[in-house]
Amino acid sequence: MSRPATGGRGRWLLRRVAYGATAVWATSVVVFAATQALPSDPAMAILGGDATPESLARLRLDLGLDRPLWQRYLDWLGGVLTGDLGRSLDSGTDVATLLGGRIANSLALLLLALSVAVALALALGLFAALRRGGLADRVVTSTAVSLQAVPGFVVAVALIVLLATTVWPVLPAASLLEPGLSPFAQLHYLVLPALTLVVAETPYLLRQVRSSVVEALESDYATAARLRGVPERRVIWRHALPNGLVPAVQATALTTGVLLGGSLVVEVAFSYPGLGGALNAAVGARDIPVIQAAALLIAGGVVVVNLLADLVTVLLTPRLRTGES
Amino acid sequence: MNSQITRRGFLGGAVLLGGAALVGCAPDAQRQQAASPGTLQDGTPRRGGRLRLGVVDGDRAGTLDAHKPLTIGSIIRGFAVYSKLWEWNAEMNWSPALAEETEANADATTWTVRLRQGLEFHNGKTITADDVIFSARRLTDPALGSPWAALLFTLDRERIDKVDERTVRFHFKDGKGFVPFPDTFTNFGAIVPVDYDPAKPVGAGPYKLKEFTPGQRSLFTRFENYFKDGQPYADELEIIDFQDEASRIAALQAGQISLANGIGADQVRLLQGDPRVSVVVSQTSNWQSFDLNLSKEPFRDERVREAFRLLTDRKELVERALSGHGRVANDLYSPQDPTFDRSIAQRPYDVERAKALLKAAGQENLQVELVSGEGGDAAALVFAAQAKKAGVTVTVKKVDAATFNGPRRLDWTMSTGGLLTESFLSSALHLDAPVSAANKTHFSDPRFTELFEQAITQPDVARRAELVHEMQRIQHAKGGLVIWGFNDALDAVSTGVGGVVPEHTQFATWRFEKLWVKETT
């Protein structure tokens, strides 16, 4: 993280945005190159094993696969810059339409899961930090460690059996979201996937919060504050917590980045129509325009999230906020 | 042609009912259903409600194009939207659908098809000869690039005669005969109007398209003027895409879908104790194989081929790879075809003879890579263990569908394979006939080619059977397909749906016009 120079916060931000854009562009090049390295070609992946050389040749022509690689990349880039993401090779649908709904679904799930996970992590992390070394701390910490060791799909299957099919069937087993309707209007489909993510992500965040708050509480400035007679409550809320939050913000950003493209396990387990599943399927089908667009979106999302996290960190850290060493 | 087929009855087709529903420990709603006789199998069709079918379509979203369905989900959606001149009956033979009468001339050089009277498309337009001609030409249009056009390679698309408003006559290239025209035209020969637009698909199938969200779901409404009187029954049909089989089964158990077609054999046991779901077993001639590439070592040597056939423990493969839901096969496809040679003895399981043959061929300690495509892993792994007993080391290499069917698809030395039930000639067109586009085994035999050319122009079943018998003897002795089993089609059906009956096809849950919702929820 670069430090904003005095009076140059605008320039700092601008530079960060430029770095981010460069990273996204570099991702697009790498992803495009990677799609070319995948075994099989889109025409064969689309037409399957029965295709004749003639129909394959025809499709390659239609898809423009006969043109040189750099030209295809430039065409694609030009399209993106003018807002045209192309058409899916598999279904022929407009990529923007195809991914639009899925992005909304992914973001809804992310928002729901993260807000619960972050709130839980803050509450439990702080709770454990204040009772560090005690029984409550040990229970919280060891539960977090054990939960972190459980793979996501196991959690998903357990929740399905518990709450959807067998033990107490109150929630849908598959998140068959009504297309065209806001995911928040069909919250019952979001509960189980969000719960799975909460179980999967809270332990990591919780441990980050706990360790950074502990560190802050035991720091020199906290001790100094106490010696000055500042009440413990004020030490915790005014000194320890804001500093303890910085690593938590960074951890949340990291988690968000992972979840943006990586809630695949949850999407598959619950048939949740999100971005990760779409990207995974597109790779299997060699649907290059969809792979490109999804990868670009995820990369862009990660950049934006990290930028936001850095901004929040700057605002939380007086030293960085004022630009003085 | 169809009348000559002996109906084998539904010997193997049994409905595995959810046990609990029968012994009465089910919730009230289910007990009531089980109490009224026959509701689980037949009952009186009732109108209304929404049918919900869950399909697993791998990584694909698919399309709605009538003539270019490239995924199983697309094909199933086509069963809702489109009707064809013929349809498959429960024995997997063709019978007239939109056609009233179809007839080949003496040497099958022409096929004449007359439409039923008063047929309509979804948009109200009457179906005429022009639409039939348009549909056949569209399917075979090089510009469309449908892979299924290859099956009709011999259709002369420039010479489809309109005899009158309802009658069409088809000719074939070079004045040659083409017996399997109905077989090859039925699967992908949806009849669509001359102004067909794949973006707004119109057909004559039991359901009209309402909404299509690729990769998620499609919604259809009943077509009131469907050509079969009184059908379909349900108001709506929803086809939902799943990426994962476990999720589909959970959705079925939770009542979110009412039908799951073609479930894995390993799911059956899971569902057997569930009173909400029954598994319908259809004994099919859909087969599974290991395909030996005859253009490569070690399979150029007939003795090695024979050894591989002998060391294949087919019974164990059916038991383990198909969880017992299938039958042993004898390296030959299309046993449902009236021309099938039943006198060819079943190849035994004989490791000792296999070893001797390998030794004679100088191939002791042989190492082979077996490439397994989607759905072939279980069989490949079982086979690898069997080969070990004959001293052959088989390494299983699992690849994704795109790679399996990719540029190397005809290069695999040994790979998993299979096909749905088709007539003998039609299967050969897919696989090992001289004109096949996907001849993975590189099988090529001058006598076989000669016989194929004759059989394809011989409409008389008895005479064609003689030719086919000789072809099958050649395939059995020298071919590259180790066809080890026929798998059952397993469909999971909610007790709330009626009309799903076992067949000898995989279509039990796709015949949307025949299915109904028992209670409207």
Instruction: Give residue limits of the domains in chain A.
Output: 101-322
Q: Do B250 and A40 touch (CB under 8 A)?
A: no
The shortest CB-CB distance from A91 to any of B63, B248, B404 is to B63
Instruction: With CA atoms as reference, report the closest residue to B517 among B502, B499, B504.
Output: B499
pLDDT > 60? residue A236: yes
State both tokens at A81. Answer: 């810059």
Chain A residues whose CB is inside 8 A of the B438 CB are 49-51
pLDDT of residue B472: 97
Q: What CATH class has B31-82+205-283+489-521?
A: alpha beta
pLDDT of residue A61: 85
The shortest CB-CB distance from B402 to any of A45, A52, A268 is to A45
pLDDT > 70? residue A1: no
pLDDT > 80? residue A275: yes
pLDDT > 70? residue A38: yes
Return the DSSP state at A85: -
Q: Which ipTM value was assigned to this complex? A: 0.85
Q: What is the mean pLDDT of residues A279-294?
A: 87
Q: What is the pLDDT of residues A142-158, one digit of tens each?
A: 999 999 888 888 999 99
Q: Do B254 and A172 touch (CB under 8 A)?
A: yes
Q: Does B253 touch chain A (CB under 8 A)?
A: yes
Spatial contact of B112 and B102, defined as CB atoms under 8 Å apart: yes
Q: What is the mean pLDDT of residues A284-301?
A: 87
Q: Do A271 and B247 touch (CB under 8 A)?
A: yes
Q: What is the pLDDT of residues B265-297, one digit of tens each?
A: 889 988 988 999 999 999 999 999 999 999 999
Return the DSSP state at B270: H
Chain B residues whose CB is inside 8 A of the A50 CB are 147-148, 150, 430, 437-438
pTM of the entire predicted model: 0.86
Phi, psi values for residue B116, rounded to 5°: -65, 160
Spatial contact of B321 and B264, defined as CB atoms under 8 Å apart: no
- The mean pLDDT value of chain B amounts to 88
B498, β-bridge pairs: B516
Rounded to an integer, what distance in angstroms lies between the CA atom of residue A200 and that of residue B321?
34
CATH superfamily of A101-322: MetI-like (1.10.3720.10)
Distances (CA, A) of A135 to A125, A139, A140, A212: 14, 6, 9, 19
Q: Do B256 and A48 touch (CB under 8 A)?
A: no
Spatial contact of B490 and B279, defined as CB atoms under 8 Å apart: yes
Q: Does B361 touch chain A (CB under 8 A)?
A: no
Q: Do B405 and A157 touch (CB under 8 A)?
A: no
Following CA atoms A309, A311, A313, A318 in sequence, which dihedral angle do they give, to the nearest 10 degrees? 180
Chain B residues whose CB is inside 8 A of the A281 CB are 59-61, 215, 243
In chain B, where the domains are located: 31-82+205-283+489-521, 84-195, 287-487
| Kind plus residue range of the DSSP H or E element containing B155 | strand B155-164
Closest Cα in chain B to A169: B254
State the angle between helix axes of B245-253 and B265-272 in degrees (0 to 180), rounded to the nearest 10. Answer: 20
pLDDT of residue B134: 97
pLDDT of residue A321: 67
SS3 B481: strand
> What is the Cβ-side half-sphere exposure of residue B93, based on CA atoms within 13 angstroms?
14
- Give the strand pairing for B94-96 and B86-88: antiparallel
Long-range contacts of A117-123 (CB under 8 A, 24+ apart): A117/A197, A117/A198, A117/A201, A117/A202, A117/A205, A117/A255, A118/A205, A118/A248, A118/A252, A120/A198, A120/A202, A120/A206, A121/A202, A121/A205, A121/A206, A121/A208, A121/A209, A121/A248, A122/A209, A122/A248
Closest Cα in chain A to B248: A174
Rounded to an integer, what distance in angstroms lies between the CA atom of residue A160 and that of residue B21?
23
Residue B115, class by beta-carbon neighbours within 10 Å (0-12 exposed, 13-18 middle, 19+ buried)?
buried
What is the topology classification, in CATH, of domain B84-195? Dipeptide-binding Protein; domain 1 (3.90.76)
Q: Which of A57-71, A204-218, A228-242, B326-340 has the highest mean pLDDT?
A: B326-340
Closest Cα in chain A to B431: A50
What's the pLDDT band for A70 if we cut at 50, 70, 90?
Answer: confident
B290, β-bridge pairs: B416, B482
Chain A residues whose CB is inside 8 A of the B149 CB are 52, 55
Among the four given CATH numbers 3.30.1360.30, 3.40.50.2020, 3.10.105.10, 1.10.3080.10, the one describing domain B287-487: 3.10.105.10
Site from A271, A283, A291 to mutate, B interface, most B CB atoms within 10 angstroms? A271
Q: Do A45 and B62 touch (CB under 8 A)?
A: no
Residue A169, class by beta-carbon neighbours within 10 Å (0-12 exposed, 13-18 middle, 19+ buried)?
middle
**Percentage of chain B modeled with pLDDT above 70:** 92
| Kind plus residue range of the DSSP H or E element containing A216 | helix A191-217
Residue A127, class by beta-carbon neighbours within 10 Å (0-12 exposed, 13-18 middle, 19+ buried)?
middle
- The answer for B 388-417 residues in CB contact with A (under 8 A) is 399-409
CA distance A193 to chain B (A): 12
Write b or e for each residue in B309-330: b if 16 or more Cβ atoms lie within 10 A of its Cβ, otherwise e. Answer: bbbbbbebbbbbbbbebbbbbb
State both tokens at A27. Answer: 């991702």
Residue listed under structure tokens 């790879």? B321
The shortest CB-CB distance from A44 to any of B247, B400, B407 is to B407
Higher pLDDT, residue A318 or B137:
B137
Q: What is the pLDDT of residues B403-454, one digit of tens each?
A: 898 888 889 999 999 999 999 999 998 888 888 878 999 999 999 999 999 9
**Percentage of chain A modeled with pLDDT above 90:** 21
Q: Do B213 and A179 touch (CB under 8 A)?
A: yes
If chain B, 521 residues long, is cut into consecutive pieces of 10 residues, what is the mean pLDDT of each piece? 32 32 34 35 82 90 90 93 96 93 92 96 96 96 87 91 96 91 92 94 96 92 95 96 92 95 90 92 96 94 96 96 95 95 96 95 94 90 96 94 86 94 92 84 94 93 96 96 96 94 94 88 47
The shortest CB-CB distance from B253 to any of A165, A271, A286 is to A165
Site from A60, A61, A90 to mutate, B interface, most B CB atoms within 10 angstroms? A90
Q: Do B147 and A269 touch (CB under 8 A)?
A: no
pLDDT > 80? residue A23: yes
What's the pLDDT band for A3 if we cut at 50, 70, 90?
Answer: low
Q: Does B346 touch chain A (CB under 8 A)?
A: no
Chain B residues whose CB is inside 8 A of the A180 CB are 213
Q: Do B217 and A164 touch (CB under 8 A)?
A: no
Chain A residues whose CB is inside 8 A of the B400 CB are 284
- Per DSSP, chain B holds a count of helices (H) and strands (E) of 15, 22
Chain A residues whose CB is inside 8 A of the B291 CB are none
Q: What is the mean pLDDT of residues A266-282?
A: 89
Spatial contact of B468 and B339, defined as CB atoms under 8 Å apart: yes
Long-range contacts of B136-142 (CB under 8 A, 24+ apart): B136/B160, B136/B168, B136/B170, B136/B185, B136/B189, B138/B66, B138/B67, B138/B192, B138/B196, B139/B67, B139/B185, B139/B188, B139/B189, B142/A54, B142/A55, B142/A58
The shortest CB-CB distance from B70 to any of A38, A47, A165 is to A47
The shortest CB-CB distance from B409 to any of A49, A277, A284 is to A49
Spatial contact of A116 and A122, defined as CB atoms under 8 Å apart: no
pLDDT of residue B477: 95
